[in-house]
Structures are given as structure tokens and as C-alpha cells.
């Protein structure tokens, strides 16, 4: 009986950690690297008829050239709101509208801006590490609770906590790999 409960806790914990890694994978995509990518702006919230709506739900976002984003709102009345949300974002991008499409030219990054972005990537990855460690703490508490309730022996609890630590190390390692890759991409001239 105890093995089933331990496996359930490990599976649940692993699943929650996986979701943290997936969430982190999306985050760095929104960090500007000097190349145009729809991920830079797709999740910007636009005030669309009073409802904050992600940009990718109200427009098409394309990359016609390496340093150019083109945004075409499906509803032209949302054009001004889309421009406003881009200007308010901390991306440092300037939208240029011709009434039907919004073009965003992606300027090359300065060395200082690259360093700032590397620090930002580091903060986002550290937030991911914290989320994974919090999930681990929750799993450890489950094992200790099972041990106190005599569902697990002390040895089984220690073994389960060790397995949980291995899972945690795996996800932390994946996050560190993402950080390293994104830092290389940002620092690439």
C-alpha cells in the first residue's frame, strides 16, 4: 500500500515540476534577442472591448524579415489598442502602423541591453527553480506526513525523499540548460 502512495506523490510532483519547466520554456521566448519572433509580443495583453486579451488571439503575427514583425489585427478598430499595449510593454519596441498592419522593426541590441537581458533570463530561471523547490517541499511534507501516520517506515520515507531529490535535480538541470541556451542566444552578435 505504501508503494502506491509514494508512487502517486512522486508522479504528481514530477507532473507539477514538468509544468514549471514548460512555463519557463515560454517565458524566455518573450525576451528580445535582436531577432524578430512572434513570441516577443504574442502574450501582450490588449484592452479589447474592455477585456484584457492576448495579442495572438486578436491578430496574426508574422515575421516577413529577420528583424521585422508584422501584426495584423483581425478587427481594425483594435489597431490603436494594440499599438498602445506594445508601447506600454517593457520590450522597448516602437510600433509603426499604416492603418491595416503594424510593423515593428527590431533594432540590434547594445552590449548593455544584452547584459540586462541575461540578468532577466537569470531571474526568470531562478523563479522557476523556486517553483520546483516549493513543489519538492510539498512532496517531502507528504512523505513526512505518511511517515508520521505510520503509512511509511523511516527508511521508505528517506528513500522516497531521495527519489524526489533526483527528480528535482533533473528539472533544475533542464532549467539550467534553457538558461545557458538563452544566454548564448542573447549574447550572440
- Last residue of one domain, picked from the residues 85, 105, 125: 105
- Last residue of one domain, picked from the residues 105, 132, 151: 105
d(Cα 39, Cα 42) in Å, to the nearest integer? 5
- Last residue of one domain, picked from the residues 77, 105, 133: 105
Mean pLDDT throughout 21-33? 72
Q: Same structural domain for residues 78 and 11?
A: no
Place of cell 541590441: 109
Measured between alpha carbons, how far is residue 8 from residues 1, 15, 123, 150 in Å? 11, 10, 31, 17
Place of cell 552590449: 111
Place of cell 533594432: 107
CA 44 to chain centre: 13
Q: Same structural domain for residues 50 and 117?
A: no
Q: Same structural domain for residues 121 and 97?
A: no
- Strands 45-48, 68-73: pairing kind: unpaired
Q: Same structural domain for residues 10 and 76?
A: no
What domain count does the chain have? 2
Q: Same structural domain for residues 149 and 168?
A: yes
Q: Same structural domain for residues 77 and 14?
A: no
Share above pLDDT 70 across residues of the chain, in percent, rounded to a whole number? 93
Q: Same structural domain for residues 49 and 24?
A: no
Q: What is the number of H-type helices and E-type strands within the chain?
A: 4, 6
Place of cell 523563479: 127
| Number of neighbours of residue 39 by Cβ within 10 angstroms | 16
pLDDT digits (tens, 9 = 90+) for 121-177: 888 899 999 999 999 999 999 999 999 999 989 999 999 999 999 999 999 999 999
pLDDT tier at 1, thresholds 50, 70, 90? very low
**Rounded mean pLDDT of the chain?**
86
Of residues 24, 21, 56, 28, the one with CA closest to residue 42 = 56
Of residues 164, 172, 158, the one with CA closest to residue 127 = 172
Of residues 145, 166, 170, 142, the one with CA closest to residue 12 = 142
According to the model, what pLDDT value does residue 171 have?
95
According to the model, what pLDDT value does residue 32 have?
56
Residue 155's domain spans which residues? Answer: 2-29+110-187
Query: Residue 149 belongs to a domain with what CATH number?
Result: 1.10.132.20
Q: Which helix (H) or strand (E) holds 123?
A: helix 111-148
According to the model, what pLDDT value does residue 10 have?
92
Q: Same structural domain for residues 70 and 47?
A: yes
Query: Residue 49 belongs to a domain with what CATH number?
Result: 3.30.1360.40
- Strands 68-73, 59-65: pairing kind: antiparallel
Amino acid at each position: 500500500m505504501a508503494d502506491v502512495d509514494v508512487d502517486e506523490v512522486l508522479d504528481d510532483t514530477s507532473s507539477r515540476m514538468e509544468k514549471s519547466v514548460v512555463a519557463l520554456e515560454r517565458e524566455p521566448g518573450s525576451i528580445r534577442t535582436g531577432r524578430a519572433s512572434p513570441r516577443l509580443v504574442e502574450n501582450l495583453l490588449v484592452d479589447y472591448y474592455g477585456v484584457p486579451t492576448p495579442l495572438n488571439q486578436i491578430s496574426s503575427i508574422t515575421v516577413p524579415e529577420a528583424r521585422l514583425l508584422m501584426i495584423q489585427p483581425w478587427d481594425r478598430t483594435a489597431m490603436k489598442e494594440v499599438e498602445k499595449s506594445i508601447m506600454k510593454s517593457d520590450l522597448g519596441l516602437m510600433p509603426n502602423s499604416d492603418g491595416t498592419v503594424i510593423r515593428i522593426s527590431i533594432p540590434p541590441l547594445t552590449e548593455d541591453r544584452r547584459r540586462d537581458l541575461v540578468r532577466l533570463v537569470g531571474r526568470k530561471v531562478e523563479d522557476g527553480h523556486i517553483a520546483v523547490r516549493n513543489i519538492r517541499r510539498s512532496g517531502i511534507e507528504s512523505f513526512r506526513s505518511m511517515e508520521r501516520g505510520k503509512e511509511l517506515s523511516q527508511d521508505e520515507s528517506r528513500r522516497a525523499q531521495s527519489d524526489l531529490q533526483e527528480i528535482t535535480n533533473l528539472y533544475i538541470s533542464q532549467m539550467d540548460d534553457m538558461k545557458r541556451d538563452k544566454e548564448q542566444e542573447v549574447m550572440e552578435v
